[in-house]
Amino acid sequence: MTYNDNKDSMKIFDLHYWRVWVNEQGESCQSKHSFKQHQQSAFAEGATPIWSAMHYSGHASIITLILMPGELKEWHENPKPQWIIPLNGRWAVETMDGVIVEMGPGEISFGGDQGTRKQQGHRSWTIGETPTELLLIQVSEPPPWSPCT
């Protein structure tokens, strides 16, 4: 998360995530993006205001995965657009453009590499000697394009 204090003394919070996507050549790529537009509002009735923003509203499936140490998941696409959040352990993702991103607990990735050339997508693996536990939230469509600034 990034905290900024701009000229108008308005506080801005950005939560960052990695996005796996497909370029015009059909290759998977990764780039850093952010959830923006957090505002202070009452999130729950009777509660004091909290910084919040709605980023998705729709049908979703929640799945957990456990990747064992030493396992390499060879080239494949994400089965559906999905948010991926490591809960325990460390995990790496390599996309077709050669970018490798390592993530740990609480970091966020969006898997949107459906439709790559030859369904190659990405490959992933556990880092270290402990299993990696992942929380997946499958959604019907990817988030709007919002590169980090």
Closest by CA to 37, choosing from 64, 10, 18, is 10
**Whether residue 58 has pLDDT greater than 60:** yes
DSSP string over 36-56:
---EEE-SSTTSPPEEE----
Is 132 in a helix, a strand, or coil?
Answer: strand
Map out the domains of the chain with their CATH numbers: 2-139 (2.60.120.10)
Percent of the chain surpassing pLDDT 90: 61
**Whether residue 133 has pLDDT greater than 90:** yes
Using a 10 angstrom Cβ sphere, with 0-12 exposed, 13-18 middle and 19 or more buried, the burial of residue 59 is: exposed
pLDDT of residue 80: 94
pLDDT classification of 147: cutoffs 50, 70, 90: low
Contact between 16 and 108 (Cβ < 8 Å): yes
pLDDT of residue 56: 75
Q: Which residue has the higher pLDDT, 141 or 104?
A: 104
In one letter, which amino acid is 96? M
pLDDT classification of 115: cutoffs 50, 70, 90: very high
Q: Could you tell me which residues come within 8 angstroms of residue 29 by beta carbon, excluding any fewer than 6 positions away? A: 20, 21, 22, 23, 95, 96, 97, 99
Contact between 84 and 132 (Cβ < 8 Å): no
Residue with tokens 């370029």: 23
Mean predicted confidence (pLDDT) in 77-83: 94
CA gap 68, 92 in Å, rounded:
13
pLDDT of residue 51: 78
Q: Which residue has the higher pLDDT, 53 or 121?
A: 121
Instruction: Tell me the pLDDT of the chain averaged across its residues.
Output: 85
